[in-house]
Structure 1
Amino acid sequence: MFRRLGFALLGVLVMAAVIVPYTLLRDVQAWYGSLLFWGAIGLAVIVLNLLVTADFKEK
């Protein structure tokens, strides 16, 4: 169950990484607005990826 939810959250994070900078952060004039957002999203994806794939084992 957690694996399906984790992969769904990964999809949401990837979609947010594409949509948010071009919609909500469009009026932010500083370049580090999007950079900070993408950095946070990247870190969240890495952590979530580690959690979701932690119990993958070779049989």
Structure 2
Amino acid sequence: MSRSLSLKLVSLVILTCYFVPYALIGQVAAWYGSFLFWCLAGVAIIILNIIATAGFSEDAE
């Protein structure tokens, strides 16, 4: 996966983090739906950031 694609996916996940809690699960009283969403969003961001920064090194100029 290319660096630019993973950064675009990061921005997509961030947008869903604004959309989903208010639009899709805003009316759900149970906490576990929100907890699952935030856990999956957090793991997705971590993985995408690892992919985006995999090519960085201290020797690059």
TM-score greater than 0.5 by the shorter chain: yes
Aligned length: 59
Match of 2:46, as an amino acid? I
CA distance in 2, matches of 1:17, 1:35: 12
Which 4+ runs in 1 deviate beyond 6 A? none
Which consecutive unaligned segments of at least 5 residues does structure 2 have?
Answer: none
Which consecutive unaligned segments of at least 5 residues does structure 1 have?
Answer: none
The answer for the alignment partner of 1:18 in structure 2 is 18
Cα RMSD, aligned residues only: 1.4
Between the aligned residues of both structures, percent identity stands at 44
TM-score (norm 1): 0.88
The answer for the alignment partner of 2:45 in structure 1 is 45
